[in-house]
Homo-oligomer: A and B are copies of this chain.
Amino acid sequence: MQKVRYGIVGIGKQGSFYTTLLTKLKFLLKGAQLTALCDISKERRTWAKEHLKKVAVFESYQQMFDSKLIDVVMVETPHYFHSEIAIAAFKSGLNVLCDKPAGVFTKQVEEMNAEATKHPDLLFGMMFNQRTNPLYIRAKEIIDSGKLGELKRIVWIITNWYRPKAYYDQGGWRGTWWGEGGGVLINQCPHQLDLFTYLAGLPVSVTAKTYTKGRAINVENDVTVMCSFANGATGVFITSTHDAPGTNRLEITGDGGKIVIENGKLVFTENAVSEPVFSKENKVFMGKPKTAKKSYRGIIKYLSFVKNPPQHIGILKNYTDYLLGKTDKFLAPGKEGIIGLTFSNAIHLSGWTGKEISIPFSEEAFLVELEKKKEEEKSISAK
C-alpha cells in the first residue's frame, strides 16, 4: 500500500471535522487521503459535493464500501450504529477506524470484536485521541517501567466537561437515551474511561451514583463512582457536565510513588524504597519513605508536533503509518474499545439499580434497564 484511502460514514459535527483534517492538514498526514464519504442527509451530501474536490459522495455506506475507492472506513455516526457499520465494513474487506465509544452496550461491541477477529488482515482502530496526549503516554511509561509499583489507588476528577443549556437545546440525539444511549459517560467520558482502564486495568466491582442535574435532559450529567481492582486497589471517578469551573485531575498511587496529572503537568513523586518494604523495615514511630519529585510538562515543540502530532491527527497519523508499515506501534487497537465501555456500562447499571456491580455483569440485565430508560423517555417526550 502506497496511500491510505479514507472513507467517512457520517459527516455531522465529528465527521466533517475529519474531512477538514484530511483535506486541510495534509502536511501532517502524509500517505492519508480522503477519497469518499457517505451521509443519509441530502443537505450534507450537497455540501460535500460543493466543497470537497476529488471526494466521491454516497448516500449509503454499503455503496461506498463496494466502490473500491477506499481502504479504511471511519465510523462517525451516532453511537448505536458504530458496531453494525464496523461489522459491515469488515465483511466488505475494509479496515476500520471507529470513533468512540465503541458502542452503547458491550453485547454489540463483542459482536464487532468477533467480526474483527475473523479478519486479522484488516486493521481495527479506535479514535482514542487522548492516548496521544504526552502526559498520559508518560504515565503509561512510568507504570509499565514498574516504577509506580503495585497499584493502590486511582482517583480521577473530570468535571470540566461543561455543557450549558444551549448545548442540549441543539436537540436531536443529544442528551437522550434513544439517540446516545447515555449522557456524560457515553458522550464526553469515553476517553477518560479508556485511559482509566488503560492505566489501572478494568475494575472488578463498581458502586456508582448517576444523576441528572440542572438540565432538562433524560440522561445522566453527574456521576460518582467507587470501584475496586483484582489486587485490592481502589478507584474513584467523578464526572459532570454542569460544574463550572470544573476540574481535570488524575492521581495514581502505587507502592513506588504517586503520579498526579493536572493543569497540563505530570508530577511523579517516587519513593526511595517501595512503601511496603519501607513500612516493614522502618523503626521510626512516624517515619515515612523519602521521595524524589519529577515534573513533566508535555509541551510539544514544532518538529515533534509534525512527527508526533497530538489528539485526533495523532491517531489518524499513527493509523496511517501503521498500515503503511512506517511504525510498529499501534496506539489505539479497536478491540480495546470494549474495556472502557464495560466500565461505563457497569457504572450505569450500578447507578440505575442502586447496587454494587461485579464485572463481568449480566449484559442482558444491562439491556433490560437501558430499554426501560428508553421507554420512560418516550412517555416523557409524549407529555
A residues near B, CB below 8 A?
A: 152-153, 155, 157, 159, 162-167, 170, 207, 209, 211, 213-215, 222, 224, 226, 228, 232, 234, 236, 238, 240, 242-247, 249, 251, 253, 257-258, 260, 269, 271, 275-276, 278-280, 282-289, 291, 354, 356
Is B236's CB under 8 angstroms from A288's CB?
A: no
Is B247's CB under 8 angstroms from A258's CB?
A: yes
Interface centre among A240, A245, A283, A285 (most CB of B within 10 A): A245
**Minimum Cβ distance to chain B for residue A292 (Å):** 11
Interface of A is mostly: mixed
Protomer copies: 2
The docked-state distance in angstroms from the alpha carbon of A131 to that of B243 is: 27
Inter-chain contacts of A244 with B (CB < 8 A): 271, 275, 278, 288-289, 291
Is B167's CB under 8 angstroms from A215's CB?
A: no
Inter-chain contacts of A207 with B (CB < 8 A): 207, 209, 226
Q: List 29 A-B contacts (CB under 8 A).
A: A153-B159, A155-B157, A157-B251, A159-B253, A162-B286, A162-B288, A163-B286, A164-B278, A164-B284, A164-B286, A166-B285, A207-B209, A209-B226, A209-B228, A214-B276, A222-B234, A243-B253, A243-B258, A244-B271, A244-B275, A244-B278, A244-B289, A244-B291, A245-B257, A245-B258, A245-B269, A245-B271, A247-B251, A354-B356
